[in-house]
A and B are shown apart, each in its own frame.
Chain A
Amino acid sequence: MSDEITQQIYSILCENAPKPPGKIDDDTELSSIGLGSLEVVETVFDLEEKFDITIPNPGESDEINTNFRNVGDVVSAVKILIELET
């Protein structure tokens, strides 16, 4: 899965990661690259700005899981939201 949107999401995650990884993939745990709760909040803001989407709070949406644990969770939520909002 290395389409353009995925790469852009990876890139935003890496920019916000306090422990910048050499490379990440969908299985990378956010905590393993230093993304704690505050950094995730900042990353969510950057993703919303980049893709002009509104990411629901964790637990707010039954359809979209935004209780992000790993990179794949973020990619899948952002892609659904881009689809819904375009």
Chain B
Amino acid sequence: MKRIVITGVGCISALGNKTSEFTDKLFNGVSGIAAVERVKVFKARTKIAAEVKNFDAAEHFTATQISQMDRHSLFAIMATREAVADAGIEFSPSLAERTAISYGTGIGGQNTQDEGYYRLYAEDAKRLHPYPVPKLMPSAAASHISMAFGITGPSLTTTTACASSAHSMGVAMMMLRSGMVDVAITGGAEAPITASSFLAWEGLRVLSKDGCSPFSAKRGGLVLGEGAGTLILETLEHAQQRGAKIYAELAGFGMCSDAHNLVQPLEDGMARAMKLALKDANLAPTDIAYINAHGTGTPQNDPVETAAIRAVFEDHADNLLVSSSKSMHGHILGASSAVEAIATIAAITQQCAPPTMGFIETDPACDLDYVFGQSRPQKIEAALSNSFAFGGLNAVLAFKRFG
């Protein structure tokens, strides 16, 4: 089977507008969660989020582009520009045909929808701008990437809630393994910070009002984030032919469904997805040193994910370092898995586990080593990145050190 490697990464989030800022803050435990600045939250009781800061679209895009793109598509292009430049890849017409785009988003154009509804219902508008339809469609970001880089191979969007970009990376990997393409631009983007989104998540009783504290007792829930992560995947053969630098190997992918509940996680489904990823990567549980957890900080997720990790890793679970980078970049919904994949790859290249921030007090139901408060140097030959979406859609990626 073809081996798949990561040769470029790009990332925009509350931890900064490029990957070097992201990893710097990630390993130093600097949280991007703060009072919401960009949007009016109306009657929402939640006033915090992990917003992208210091981002003026006009510095990076033309007026026409801004008019035609929702905020999540702008993020997708920002992250993809960085990833393509990082990979040092040039898309000749023949390579462009042999390149896929597999990009995730949980919602798509949330900001565009909110703006349109406000004009319609609050301002009683007689007409709406013509662009909301192509701006808010969940596949918009994939189309914009295709147009921006002249990619003429297969392009598609995966939308599986909070596992969207894990599935997008998994699908990209399968396309590469099958021989359909040689290169894939993959990852995901999300911009869900709007008043309607806040109120809806509050209604589900999973939104924290005071911070994100994964795996702690008295954790108050998740904090919404925004941003995008893009990874350039290639077959090992193609990467070596062009002399590309290689960050790590994407060695395995496991996905399954709970068939259980729209919002309640299930230990068995999480455990099966981890086992499937290990099997696909031909790794033993004892090969794994680090897990970037789904770790939302909700009362529901964290003990169930802990139990699932224990079920899969048995005695080795106590040797694992497990952390939730959502404690710093927030829950970026459909872009989370992509941003967290970049965090996991950074953990491998830097041989260091990023911390879980926001520790309050010990939860007896969460009894693994969560690297609270400070990153920790660690020999990491292989790592997992977990994503467990609403509706019981589980996706786990396995990464291996290269070389």
* Interfacial residues, chain A to chain B (CB-CB below 8 A): 36-38, 41, 44-45, 54, 57-60
- Please, which residue of chain B has its CB at the minimum distance from the CB of A37? B264
Complex: A50 Cα to B54 Cα, angstroms: 42
What are 7 A-B residue pairs whose CB atoms fall within 8 Å in the complex? Answer: A37-B264, A38-B261, A38-B262, A41-B203, A54-B45, A57-B205, A59-B218
- CB-based closest 9 A-B pairs: A57-B205, A38-B263, A41-B205, A37-B264, A38-B262, A45-B203, A41-B204, A37-B263, A38-B261
Could you tell me the distance in whole angstroms from the C-beta of B210 to the nearest C-beta in chain A?
10
Across chains A and B, the number of contacting residue pairs, with CB separation under 8 Å, is: 25
**Given that A57-B221, A59-B218 are contacting pairs, would A44 and B261 also be in contact in the complex, using a CB cutoff of 8 Å?**
no
Within 8 A of A (CB), among B275-334: 299-300
Question: Do A36 and B264 touch (CB < 8 A)?
Answer: yes
Could you tell me the distance in whole angstroms from the C-beta of A67 to the nearest C-beta in chain B?
10
Within 8 A of A (CB), among B189-231: 203-205, 218, 220-221
Contact flags B332-349 to A (C-beta < 8 A → 1, else 0): 000000000000000000
Q: For A38, list chain B residues within 8 Å (CB).
A: 261-264
Within 8 A of A (CB), among B232-270: 261-264
Greatest chain B CB density within 10 A among A41, A54, A58 is at A41
Question: Do A58 and B203 touch (CB < 8 A)?
Answer: no
- Contact residues of A: prevailing secondary structure: loop
Complex: A58 Cα to B45 Cα, angstroms: 16
Q: For A45, list chain B residues within 8 Å (CB).
A: 203
Greatest chain B CB density within 10 A among A36, A41, A57 is at A57
Complex: A52 Cα to B261 Cα, angstroms: 29
Task: Bin chain B's interface residue count.
Answer: 10 to 19
Within 8 A of A (CB), among B154-205: 203-205
Question: Do B261 and A36 touch (CB < 8 A)?
Answer: yes
Partner of B299, one of A36, A44, A58: A58
Q: For A54, list chain B residues within 8 Å (CB).
A: 45
- Please, which residue of chain B has its CB at the minimum distance from the CB of A40? B205
Complex: A54 Cα to B44 Cα, angstroms: 12
Could you tell me the distance in whole angstroms from the C-beta of B366 to the nearest C-beta in chain A?
15
Q: For A41, list chain B residues within 8 Å (CB).
A: 203-205, 263
Q: For B299, list chain A residues within 8 Å (CB).
A: 58-59
Could you tell me the distance in whole angstroms from the C-beta of A22 to the nearest C-beta in chain B?
26
Q: For B220, list chain A residues within 8 Å (CB).
A: 57, 60
- Please, which residue of chain B has its CB at the minimum distance from the CB of A55? B205
Complex: A59 Cα to B361 Cα, angstroms: 15
- Please, which residue of chain B has its CB at the minimum distance from the CB of A66? B205
